[in-house]
Amino acid sequence: MVHYSSEVLLREVCDSESGHNLPTVLVEITATVLDQEDDDDGHLLALQIIRDLVDKGGDVFLDQLARLGVINKVSTLAGPASDDENEDESKPEKREPGRRIRQLRFLQTAFGRLLADPRNAHPLFCAALPLAAESRSEFLEKLQRARSQVKPVTSSQPILSTVAPTKLTVGNWSLTCLKEGEIAIHNSDGQQATILKEDLPGFVFESNRGTKHSFTAETSLGSEFVTGWTGKRGRKLKSKLEKTKQKVKSMARELYDDHFKAVESMPRGVVVTLRNISTQLESAWELHTNRQCVEGENTWRDLMKTALENLIVVLKDENTISPYEMCSSGLVQALFTVLNNVSVPRLLLHPQGNAYLCTCTTLPALCTTCK
């Protein structure tokens, strides 16, 4: 609904009396989805909604995204920026586009996986073989027989190790490597071509008319193929899940760089105030634990009292503070550190809103100050 709404309509609804809570509700929904672990499809949908919100709503939604911690969640999904710089380390080596004969064997490539899947009646072999079940079985038998003739102790040899017009011919098929990370298999009886790509979990079929169709394998790679690549630094063929993860990471990085980086560097004023109060509480705690004279005793008391009074004022005047902002400002941890010790004076809040400290170690009901 957000995707198909115009910018004018979305702003009009948010500004109306009945829709003034819409920005908060929409952002809360995306925050809930992003909190779900291992839900890449949900994360992708939430990021698409967030992108539509910031593109059409601008500041109306940016404030809510920051308040509810969605910006931090997006930053986490995007990962460190240095990952993009180190991406080159995971790129395939120059000799890898050719693969090895052992790694092109039947049932160990995307090409073979599609052959093994009975649901794939693919036109790849239409020029060399009929699509009848008998011909298909016969062809698979020939492939397996050819494979069995390669002795296990035979050393692997690189083929088509560089991008060049060199052609390897096997029967009616010719193999070439004309692009980095890609092998093309042509049928000599026609113009059909099968293209194997580095990042494609299947292959691309090009017909006589030049039309290209992409096919994805239904059968996973065998353990023998995976084991053969454990020592390599090249990329492995990406599954649908890996592709979705990469898309989520890419979209999160784009959102963060284009919209959220500047917002994160300028937090809301109330967050800055909470951070200052947290710092005051921590400073008072350090003075309390390291006090060596009467003057030090009075100093930490005054500092803590001031911090608590400021906190009460903020909580009274500001009703939009979110739990995320309370935690990210360090306030929760500071209060936990200060109050989670019997030797620390008890924090007391008077019904009228005044804050004062009690140094007793008895129960409040037995203390005259607490009463």
- The tens digit of pLDDT for each residue in 212-262 reads 887 775 555 444 444 444 444 444 445 677 788 888 888 888 888 888 887
Domain boundaries, the chain: 7-85+242-263, 96-234, 269-366
Q: What is the pLDDT of residues 280-321, one digit of tens each?
A: 888 888 887 776 555 556 777 888 888 888 888 888 776 677
Give the chain's mean pLDDT.
Answer: 70
Judged against a pLDDT cut of 60, whether residue 29 lies above it is answered with: yes
Rounded Cα–Cα distance for residues 107 and 115 (Å): 8
- Rounded Cα gap, residues 250 and 270, in angstroms: 32
- Residue in 35, 72, 34, 40 with CA at minimum distance from that of residue 248: 40
Nearest to 119 by CA among 136, 104, 102: 136
Lowest mean per-residue pLDDT among 57-61, 134-138, 282-286 = 134-138
- Give the pTM: 0.45
Q: In this predicted model, which residue has the larger pLDDT, 369 or 190?
A: 190
Q: What residue has token string 């390897």? A: 168
